[in-house]
Each structure stands twice: as structure tokens, then as C-alpha cells.
């Protein structure tokens, strides 16, 4: 059972728990990022209160004054009061708009800042969570839920705070309206409450429907983004064109789009009926209230001004009750969405985290009966692997595609934990080391390494961000990998941005140059164990020869593990491990292995040598 399923079934969080947890988080983010949001909310409150004063009280006062004049009261005394009331009305309106405008525009601006802050947290979690999660569909769907949940589904920090604000505001408005109505037309109160109860009930039903459909949409939203945005991106551009696959991808994307539209249509159909029922309850409320107030005014039990004030108060009472109901629903709903973000941030580590530091200069590595299945995988990819690599040893790892060579490296780098057995470094299980400290052991260049849209310098120096950047070391790393001449030809030298997508003056490196840059990055790291996974695959024969020639200088006295299909390179290594049938089938020096009759290595070497002989003749 996955962590999320467990969390759902054993510890099903109640609405109050979720709301409290999210509010606490949201308020702490707001407080740490932009405290002035609280002042702006207060200013907005004053603005809204002034507007209520203008609608509820001032018209009654004005009408009663006008009616008094109409009934023969002295004009000179009443006219002065009327002027004061008009001035108050105009000022209340002006200040109300001014305060609300200032507050709303500031809050809008702050909302972008909060959004950035939350996105940063999300991005940091995505980059630091255990590597195996980056390909786990459950985690990726949760990531999408978190992204949507904290942005447009919940309205983010400002959206959630706004719902809470509306609840507080509605409670105060309700108290004011109830006081007015209780004095002048008390029977309106039960009518409003019943109507509001019905509307609230129908809204609640709609909200449940929305939550249910949100869960259904998260996965298809993610797949839709993949089809519509990831596939057309630069990295896929060449394959898409060369295989003329635009139609196929668009068709698949449309399929997901139709799926989503069908889900939305169903959601809308279910919600529409509830909305109509709410409207009917509302119409009954209006009819009954006006009938009752009109009756009291005609009977002379209340003045015309009182009637106006009561009518406004009744509508305000209804609005406030609805506001409380809707916003409590809205707040819990928004918190539920945003909770997905907190669940994502809380996603626990898959790998046990130790705290030991790796000490000393020389390190021995040992695989002890290591077997491994990929997470969620059924089949063993490695079975009972045993090998010892001494400090300073140069090991070549060979085998057919899919034999498990890269997986062996990934386990050593602790991107995954072994399923059975253990890996020891200096006699200690690697699960006991702190991951940051442990990773310092390795300089790795994977087959599918990544360069980033930063300068050449940044791409190399990111090899070791703990160290003070140094031009001399940068030059040395570029020189060793054979990249320095190419770098010198770049328009802005080391400061040239790689790729054109983010900088119009950026450059596009050739496959070989990219590989040399990646090797430079690994060399710049200067770690005690160098791992090169098919490092020369994209290099031309001369560059490859140069790398081999410099291999000893490149890795020096360090431990080196070297995966290659070109067996001629194995001669440079002290030992060779041949992977086949999920394990190490042959192990020894080049001379030992070529002599094994019918041996895998001997056959592979023979086949390659044959190819070169034929090619040369």
C-alpha cells in the first residue's frame, strides 16, 4: 500500500484538521513573506463597512428627513440635516472605493509574490525528493494535484485568506442586519434562515461533486500537459519532425482533451440541477419578505425609511448568511485542495537517511549479494551481484544492452536502495551515510547526462557548489576533457549560454562538445570515485582517442568505473566485470577474460575485433 493510500485509510483527515493545518501554513507563509497583507485586509474591511453604512443607514435617515418635510416639518432645520447626510453619503462612497481600490490592488500584487514563494517550495521539493519518485506515477499525479491545488483550485494564499476574511465580514454584517430586522420586522429572520439553509444544502452537494471530479481530472490533466506542452518542446523537436509524428501526438492529445471535456460536462450536468433548486428557494424568500415588510409599512407600523432600511437589511442578512455558508464551504474546499500541496511537501523519503560522514582519502567499495527490482517493478534487474573495488582501481563494466550496467551504477550512487544484500563503502553500509556527504564521493557522467540553459561556466562549476568557484580549476577541467579549444571559440567564452531557448545569443553545442562539457563537470567535482557511463559514445574517433590517452591523467590515482561498449577501452582498466543474466558472469583482467574459451567477453571482443579487421581491409 502506498504512503498516500495509508494516509487516506488509516488516518482519514477530517475537514477541521485539514482546514486548521492549511490555515496555519498559509498564515505563516503570509507573515514571513509579506506582513502588510494583514493591514491591507483591514483597510479593505473599513472600505466595505463604509459602503454598508451608505446602503443600510444613510438612505433611511435621508428618506425620513424628506418625508418629515413632506409632512410639513420646518424646511430650514431639516435641510441642514439633509445636506449633512448627503455629504456623509458621498464621503462614505468615496472613501469606501478609495480604500477598497488601494487594498485590492495591493493584495493582487502580493498574491503573485505568494504564488512564487509556494512554487519555489514545490520546485525545491521536486528537486530534492528521492530520485525514484521522479518516475513514480503516484507521486507525479500528487505533484500535479499539489500544483493545481495551491494555485487556481484554491486561489493560493490570497484565495484562502479571502475566504476566511469573507466569513468574518459576513458574521459582522449578519449581526448588524439581524439587529436592524429584529427591531423593525422580526419575522423575516426565520424566512431568511430557511431559504439560506436550502441554498447552502444545494451548494454543499455541488461542492462534493466538484471535489470528486477534481480527483478524476488530476491524472488526465498531467497527461494532457505532456501531450500539449512537453512533446512539442525543443528536446523532442527533431524526432517529432523526422518521424512525422505530429498527427499521432495531436490525436492522442485530443483523446485526453475529449476525456476531460466529457468529465467536465458530466460535472456541469450534475451541478446544474442543484443550482436551479437554489434559485427557486431564493425566489420564495424574496416574495415572502417583501410581502411581510409591505404589510407592516401599509399598516403604519414602520416608516418609509424603516421599510427601505429593512429591505436592505433583509437582503444583507440573506447575503451574509449565504456568505457565511458559502465561504465556510469555500474555505474548507480550498483548504482541501491546498492540503494536497502539504501532502506533497510531506511526502516521506523512500530511502533511509543516515548521518555518517565519509572520511579519509581512500575508499573501498563492496557489493554483497546485491539483488534489485525497480520500485513498482516485478522482475529482478540484478541478482546476487558480488564485487569488491579497491581504492584507486580502474574497473571496466561491460555487457549487452539491458544487462544492468547503469542500474549497478545507480545503486552505487544510491539513487535507489538495494532490494536485497548491501553495498559497503569502507566496510559501512551506504544507507548509514548522510546522502549529501555520500554523494561527494562520486563524479559521474551518465549516458543521458543533462546540461542546463546556463553559461558554460555554470554548467561546469555546478559540479561542486560547495567549493569557491575558480577559473583555474574550470580551465583545467575543460582542458582535460578536450573542451577548452571549443570553449575559446564561443562568442562569450565561458560565459556563453548553452541552448538558444532562453537566450537569443545562446549557443547549441554538438553532441561531442556536450559530452566533453559533462565530463569537465565531473572532473571539476574532483571526487575520489570517477564513474563514466559510455563517456565517449558521442565523440569522434580523435576525441575518443584523446580521452583514452588522457584517461590516466583524467582519473589519476582515483577509483574509476567505466562502462563502455568499445572493448578496446577495457585494456586501460585493471579489472573487467562482465554483466549478463542480471549478474556479474565474468570478472578478471583483459588478458584473463579473452582467454576463456566460449566466454562472453572473449566472444564480444572477437566480434568487435573482427569488425575492425573487416573495416580496415
CB 226, min distance to ligand ADP, A: 17
Confirm or reject binding of residue 405 to ligand ADP (CB under 6 A). yes
Nearer CB in complex with ligand ADP: 294/402: 402
CB 438, min distance to ligand ADP, A: 20
Confirm or reject binding of residue 604 to ligand ADP (CB under 6 A). no
Confirm or reject binding of residue 374 to ligand ADP (CB under 6 A). yes
Candidates 47-55, 117-125, 295-303, 400-408; binding stretch for ligand ADP (CB under 6 A):
400-408
Candidates 150-158, 209-217, 402-410, 590-598; binding stretch for ligand ADP (CB under 6 A):
402-410
Among residue numbers 191 through 230, which ones bind ligand ADP (CB under 6 A)?
none
Nearer CB in complex with ligand ADP: 402/557: 402
CB 409, min distance to ligand ADP, A: 8
Identify the residue among 403, 430, 451, 474 touching ligand ADP (CB under 6 A): 403
Nearer CB in complex with ligand ADP: 332/406: 406
Residue 419, SS3 per DSSP: coil
CB 382, min distance to ligand ADP, A: 8
Nearest to 89 by CA among 44, 46, 56: 56
Nearer CB in complex with ligand ADP: 289/564: 564
CB 573, min distance to ligand ADP, A: 17
Identify the residue among 106, 220, 407, 569 touching ligand ADP (CB under 6 A): 407
Nearer CB in complex with ligand ADP: 174/560: 560
Q: 275 CB contacts (<8 Å, ≥6 apart)?
A: 202, 206
- Residue in the block written with cell 528537486: 127
Q: Label residues 577-596 b or e (16+ Cβ within 10 Å = b).
A: bbbbebbbebbbebeebbee
**Cα–chain-centroid distance for residue 391?**
41
Q: 370 CB contacts (<8 Å, ≥6 apart)?
A: 382, 384, 385, 386, 411, 418, 420, 421, 422, 423
Nearer CB in complex with ligand ADP: 321/397: 397
CB 522, min distance to ligand ADP, A: 18
Identify the residue among 278, 325, 404, 463 touching ligand ADP (CB under 6 A): 404
Among residue numbers 78 through 107, which ones bind ligand ADP (CB under 6 A)?
none
Confirm or reject binding of residue 505 to ligand ADP (CB under 6 A). no
Please tell me the distance from the alpha carbon of residue 93 to that of residue 84, in angstroms, as a whole number.
14
Helix (H) or strand (E) holding 423: strand 420-425
Q: 568 CB contacts (<8 Å, ≥6 apart)?
A: 608
Q: Answer yes or no: are the C-beta atoms of 139 and 343 closer than 8 Å.
A: no
Q: How far is CA 238 from CA 47, 102, 235, 241, 256, in A?
A: 57, 50, 7, 5, 24
Nearer CB in complex with ligand ADP: 191/381: 381
CB 347, min distance to ligand ADP, A: 19
Question: Which positions from 415 to 454 touch ligand ADP by CB under 6 A, shown as an x/- string?
Answer: ----------------------------------------
Q: How far is CA 52 from CA 32, 92, 175, 315, 600, in A?
A: 33, 9, 13, 12, 87
Confirm or reject binding of residue 406 to ligand ADP (CB under 6 A). yes
CB 379, min distance to ligand ADP, A: 8
**Helix 304-346 and helix 188-225, axial crossing angle in degrees, nearest 10:** 30
Confirm or reject binding of residue 465 to ligand ADP (CB under 6 A). no
Residue 233 is given by DSSP the state S
Planar angle of CA 92, 180, 310, nearest 5 degrees: 80
Candidates 114-122, 399-407, 486-494, 565-573; binding stretch for ligand ADP (CB under 6 A):
399-407
Confirm or reject binding of residue 399 to ligand ADP (CB under 6 A). yes
Among residue numbers 128 through 157, which ones bind ligand ADP (CB under 6 A)?
135
CB 400, min distance to ligand ADP, A: 7
CB 125, min distance to ligand ADP, A: 20
Confirm or reject binding of residue 159 to ligand ADP (CB under 6 A). no
Identify the residue among 197, 215, 237, 377 touching ligand ADP (CB under 6 A): 377
Which DSSP string corresponds to 280-339?
HHHHHHHHHHHHHHHHHHHTTSS-HHHHHHHHHHHHHHHHHHHHHHHHHHHHHHHHHHHH
Phi, psi of 588 (to 5 degrees): 165, -170
Nearer CB in complex with ligand ADP: 68/397: 397
Q: How many CB atoms lie within 10 A of CB 355?
A: 9
Nearest to 391 by CA among 345, 358, 432, 434: 358
Nearest to 498 by CA among 537, 456, 529: 456
Confirm or reject binding of residue 402 to ligand ADP (CB under 6 A). yes
Confirm or reject binding of residue 412 to ligand ADP (CB under 6 A). no
Nearer CB in complex with ligand ADP: 139/478: 139
The footprint of ligand ADP (CB under 6 A) covers: 135, 374, 377, 381, 399, 401-407
Amino acid at each position: 500500500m502506498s504512503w498516500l493510500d495509508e494516509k487516506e485509510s488509516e488516518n482519514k483527515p477530517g475537514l477541521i484538521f485539514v482546514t486548521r493545518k492549511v490555515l496555519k501554513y498559509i498564515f505563516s507563509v503570509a507573515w514571513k513573506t509579506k506582513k502588510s497583507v494583514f493591514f491591507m485586509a483591514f483597510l479593505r474591511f473599513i472600505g466595505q463597512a463604509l459602503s454598508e453604512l451608505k446602503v443600510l443607514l444613510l438612505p433611511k435617515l435621508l428618506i425620513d428627513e424628506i418625508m418629515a418635510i413632506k409632512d410639513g416639518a420646518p424646511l430650514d432645520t431639516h435641510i441642514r440635516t439633509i445636506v449633512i447626510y448627503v455629504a456623509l453619503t458621498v464621503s462614505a462612497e468615496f472613501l469606501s472605493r478609495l480604500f477598497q481600490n488601494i487594498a485590492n490592488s495591493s493584495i493582487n500584487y502580493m498574491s503573485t509574490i505568494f504564488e512564487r514563494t509556494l512554487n519555489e517550495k514545490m520546485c525545491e521539493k521536486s528537486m530534492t525528493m528521492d530520485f525514484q519518485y521522479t518516475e513514480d506515477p503516484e507521486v507525479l499525479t500528487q505533484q500535479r494535484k499539489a500544483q493545481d491545488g495551491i494555485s487556481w483550485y484554491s486561489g493560493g494564499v490570497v484565495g484562502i485568506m479571502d475566504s476566511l476574511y469573507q466569513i468574518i465580514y459576513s458574521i459582522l454584517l449578519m449581526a448588524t442586519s439581524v439587529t436592524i430586522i429584529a427591531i423593525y420586522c422580526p419575522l423575516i429572520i426565520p424566512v431568511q434562515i430557511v431559504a439560506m439553509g436550502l441554498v447552502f444544502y444545494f451548494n454543499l452537494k455541488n461542492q462534493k461533486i466538484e471535489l470528486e471530479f477534481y480527483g478524476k481530472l488530476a491524472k488526465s490533466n498531467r497527461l494532457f500537459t505532456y501531450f500539449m506542452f512537453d512533446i512539442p518542446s525543443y528536446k523532442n523537436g527533431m524526432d517529432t519532425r523526422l518521424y512525422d509524428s505530429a498527427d499521432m501526438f495531436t490525436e492522442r492529445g485530443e483523446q485526453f482533451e475529449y476525456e476531460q471535456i466529457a468529465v467536465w460536462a458530466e460535472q456541469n450536468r450534475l451541478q446544474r440541477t442543484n443550482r436551479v433548486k437554489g434559485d427557486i428557494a431564493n425566489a420564495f424568500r424574496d416574495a415572502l419578505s417583501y410581502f411581510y415588510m409591505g404589510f407592516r409599512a401599509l399598516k403604519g407600523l414602520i416608516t418609509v425609511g424603516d421599510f427601505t432600511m429593512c429591505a436592505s437589511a433583509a437582503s444583507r442578512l440573506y447575503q451574509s448568511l449565504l456568505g457565511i455558508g458559502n465561504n465556510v464551504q469555500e474555505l474548507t474546499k480550498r483548504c482541501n485542495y491546498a492540503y494536497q500541496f502539504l501532502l506533497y511537501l510531506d511526502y516521506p523519503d523512500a530511502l533511509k537517511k543516515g548521518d555518517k560522514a565519509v572520511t579519509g582519502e581512500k575508499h573501498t567499495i563492496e557489493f554483497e549479494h546485491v539483488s534489485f527490482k525497480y520500485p513498482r517493478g516485478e522482475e529482478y534487474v540484478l541478482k546476487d551481484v558480488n564485487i569488491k573495488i579497491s581504492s584507486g582501481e580502474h574497473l571496466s563494466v561491460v555487457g549487452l544492452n539491458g544487462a544492468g550496467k547503469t542500474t549497478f551504477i545507480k545503486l552505487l550512487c544510491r539513487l535507489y536502495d538495494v532490494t536485497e544484500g548491501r553495498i559497503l563503502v569502507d566496510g559501512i553500509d551506504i544507507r548509514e551515510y548522510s546522502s549529501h556527504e555520500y554523494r561527494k564521493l562520486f563524479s559521474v557522467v551518465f549516458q543521458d547526462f543533462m546540461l542546463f540553459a546556463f553559461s558554460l561556466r555554470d554548467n561546469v562549476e555546478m559540479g561542486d557548489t560547495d567549493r569557491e568557484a575558480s577559473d583555474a580549476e574550470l580551465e583545467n577541467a575543460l582542458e582535460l576533457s578536450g573542451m577548452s579549444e571549443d570553449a575559446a571559440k564561443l562568442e562569450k567564452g565561458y560565459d556563453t549560454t548553452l541552448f538558444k531557448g532562453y537566450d537569443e545569443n545562446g549557443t547549441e553545442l554538438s553532441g561531442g562538445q556536450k559530452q566533453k562539457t559533462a565530463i569537465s563537470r565531473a572532473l571539476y567535482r574532483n571526487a575520489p570515485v570517477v564513474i563514466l557511463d559510455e563517456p565517449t559514445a558521442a565523440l569522434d574517433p580523435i576525441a575518443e582517442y584523446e580521452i583514452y590517452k588522457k584517461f590516466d591523467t583524467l582519473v589519476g590515482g582515483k577509483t574509476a568505473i567505466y562502462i563502455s561498449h568499445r572493448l578496446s577501452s577495457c585494456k586501460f582498466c585493471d579489472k573487467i566485470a562482465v554483466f549478463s543474466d542480471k549478474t556479474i558472469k565474468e570478472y578478471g583482467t583483459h588478458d584473463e577474460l579473452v582467454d576463456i574459451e566460449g566466454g562472453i567477453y572473449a566472444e564480444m571482443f572477437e566480434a568487435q575485433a573482427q569488425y575492425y579487421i573487416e573495416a580496415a581491409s
